[in-house]
Chains A and B, each alone.
Chain A
Amino acid sequence: MNEVVEGFIQAVQLIASLDEEVIEITIRSLLISLSATLIGSLIAIPIGGFIHFREFGGKRGLVTIIQTLYALPTVLAGLLVFLLLSRSGPFGFLGLMFTPFGMIIGQIVLIIPLMIGMTLIALSGVSRTKQDTVISLGATETQTVITIVKEARFAILGGVILGFGRAISEVGAAMMIGGNIRGYTRVLTTAIALETSMGNLSLSIALGIILLAIAMMVTGILFLVQER
């Protein structure tokens, strides 16, 4: 028990003193997950728009698969990207294994289904009449998609924020693809896992508090967005 209390006290000290390693890991976590969220959004929102606006065979099946993948285990996303990026994999020549870029790819794979799904829900929240109004005012297909996505932008943003939350809190893909290399690919979650296993509780707790704070901020922003 003493150990835990001591860990907490030291953790607060680490954060308060802006410990170099803590700050560095936090910034790297944010950069990697924000990049993954940004790139993931640029892929997921147009795909969501395409699925919503086009009629094609197997649409329902595709949507069901996407919904199933909301719960894609992080280690499976890690495994998939590992197979693709490892030296003997099809993209091995890019040398992305054990780099932050590889981790970004892993997180993108992980959160894209969730963001596509949220985009679909957001777009179907825009009334059919609104869509018809836009078309009847002479919009091309692209103009229709852009206008309706704009109409649903707060709901879509909610999905993007959820995606970020999933990206920053996952540990499987970050560990398998990043490799938890100190000062290069070590992020909040992998650091907590490692430091805890090494018995370095104070650092773990400090990083845990920061991760929790980020999660709370994400939830807070999501709440504000959905209030609009």
Chain B
Amino acid sequence: MIDFDQVVMNFGEKEVLKNVSFSIEDSEIFTFIGPSGSGKTTILRLIDMLERPTSGNIFIDGTDVATLKDRERIPLRRRMSMVFQKPSPLRGSVFDNVAIGLWFRKVGSGEIQERVPEALELVGLKGYEERKAGTLSGGEMQRVAIARAIATKPEVLLLDEPTANLDPVSTEKIENLISALKERFGITVILSTHDMVQGQRLADRIAVVIDGRIGQVGTSKEIFYHPMNRAVATMVGVENIFEGRVAVNEAGLASIDVNGTSIIATTPFPAGTPVMLYMRPEDITFHVKDGVKSSARNEFTGRITKVLPMGPMARLKIDAGVKLTAVITQRSYDELELALGKEIGLAFKASAIHVVERRD
């Protein structure tokens, strides 16, 4: 179990982490999501005790490591392994690279002969032992780095942006491997990524890191559909964000006034509560104005003000009294004969709106 308690980290004048607190349970995949430079890497480096926090406490299985001497940190660090964003091949063969953590631990050569091929097989590089590490491709070297990290049978595996520099095929292989490691060996996997979808695919729990702070910790569902504040919402792709005030609330179904437009949402907040509304662009549906009623509580007519094609999808900006962002498949876009400036009927469910009390 890993606990951060009010951890502050400064590099010179720069505050990299500001009062960061969280706990990571054993055998979970815990992902830090955040933009580059938000402090994710620093958190992983602190867990691996490569840095000392400026203030605050870091507990690993109850031991406060912030104040431990370098020498005392080694036995604790040897229960973890870290894979860095840029894999560093050391001189020599792939075997030498994978074996090095075992040499450091003075593991017998017989056991090393068994564990190195085992680790290489796990990462799908069986038979690579004699290759020169310097000649591998980026994806192969990243997998060697993972093999090197898991050969020591760590309880905790730290992965810093493990797929940031890789092609989609290598990325998929590494993601499968990460899931398998947790399933088969019960390893606690802690990774950082700026790829929202990767976080969602892999993680049991996600912490959103924004500008040196933890914005929110939760399951991917909680993070993606119930962001706690604007920064988290923006980070996880919730593009419809409104400020409003509850006008009426009848048994949990509220009418919320957003700049004169009334939006229906499910929330327990009573009339008069200032709120923020969050809605994902995927939750807006479209229909041509033909009188067909949808089951959604919110129905609007709006004008398309911007169209951004994104491969098979199109992103639309719509002015419907409130400004909305929606996505639609390119196929539907064509079938509905949509175009810039055209009027369109749209709808979204009351339950698609996530309502959070606003405290200014």
Contacts and interface: CB of A to CB of B under 8 A. Distances in A.
Q: Do A and B bind each other?
A: yes
Interface of A: 127, 129-130, 132-141, 143, 147, 150-151
Contacts of B82: 132-133, 136
B88 A130 contact: yes
Nearest to A130: B88
B310 interface: no
A138 B101 contact: yes
A132 B81 CA distance: 11
Nearest to B88: A130
B182 interface: no
B74 A137 contact: no
B105 A133 contact: no
Given A132-B50, A151-B90, A151-B91, A138 B84 contact: no
B77 interface: yes
B213 interface: no
8 contacts: A133-B84, A133-B145, A136-B48, A136-B84, A136-B158, A137-B101, A138-B77, A140-B74
A39 B82 CA distance: 38
A135 B50 contact: yes
B86 A129 contact: yes
B81 A127 contact: no
Nearest to A150: B91
Interface in B85-100: 86, 88, 90-91, 100
Contacts of B90: 130, 133-134, 147, 151
A130 B92 CA distance: 14
Contacts of B81: 136-137
Contacts of A137: 81, 100-101, 104, 148-149, 152
A145 to B, nearest CB: 12
A133 B97 CA distance: 11
B84 A129 contact: yes
Interface of B: 45, 48, 50, 70-71, 74, 77-78, 80-82, 84, 86, 88, 90-91, 100-101, 104-105, 145, 148-149, 152, 158
Contacts of B71: 140-141
A135 B45 CA distance: 11
Given A129-B84, A141-B70, A147 B100 contact: yes
B145 to A, nearest CB: 8
B65 to A, nearest CB: 14
Contacts of B86: 129
A138 B88 contact: no
A151 B90 CA distance: 7
Contacts of B80: 136
Contacts of A135: 50, 77
B132 to A, nearest CB: 13
Tell me which of B91, B145, B149 has the highest count of chain A C-beta atoms within 10 A of its own C-beta: B91
Contacts of B77: 135-136, 138
A30 to B, nearest CB: 30
Contacts of B105: 138
B39 to A, nearest CB: 17
Nearest to A131: B88
B49 to A, nearest CB: 9
A210 to B, nearest CB: 36
A172 to B, nearest CB: 39
A150 B74 CA distance: 21
Contacts of A130: 88, 90
B104 A139 contact: yes
A71 to B, nearest CB: 32
Contacts of B50: 132, 135-136
Given A127-B88, A130-B90, A147-B100, A138 B70 contact: no
Contact of A132 (B70, B84, B104): B84
Tell me which of B70, B104, B148, B152 has the highest count of chain A C-beta atoms within 10 A of its own C-beta: B104
A138 B82 CA distance: 10
Given A133-B145, A134-B90, A147-B100, 15 more contacts: A129-B84, A130-B90, A132-B45, A134-B100, A135-B77, A136-B77, A136-B81, A136-B158, A137-B104, A137-B148, A138-B78, A141-B70, A141-B71, A143-B104, A151-B90
Contacts of B88: 127, 129-130, 133
A151 B145 CA distance: 17
Contact of A138 (B74, B91, B158): B74
Contacts of A151: 90-91
Contacts of A150: 91
A140 B103 CA distance: 11
A93 B262 CA distance: 101
Rank and list the top 9 A-B pairs by shortest CB-CB distance, nearest first.
Answer: A137-B101, A138-B78, A136-B82, A130-B88, A133-B88, A138-B104, A139-B104, A129-B88, A143-B104
A134 B86 CA distance: 13
A150 B158 CA distance: 26
Nearest to B70: A141
A135 B50 CA distance: 8
B72 to A, nearest CB: 12
A136 B81 CA distance: 6
A132 to B, nearest CB: 6
Given A129-B86, A133-B84, A140 B104 contact: yes
A151 B89 CA distance: 10
A140 B73 CA distance: 10
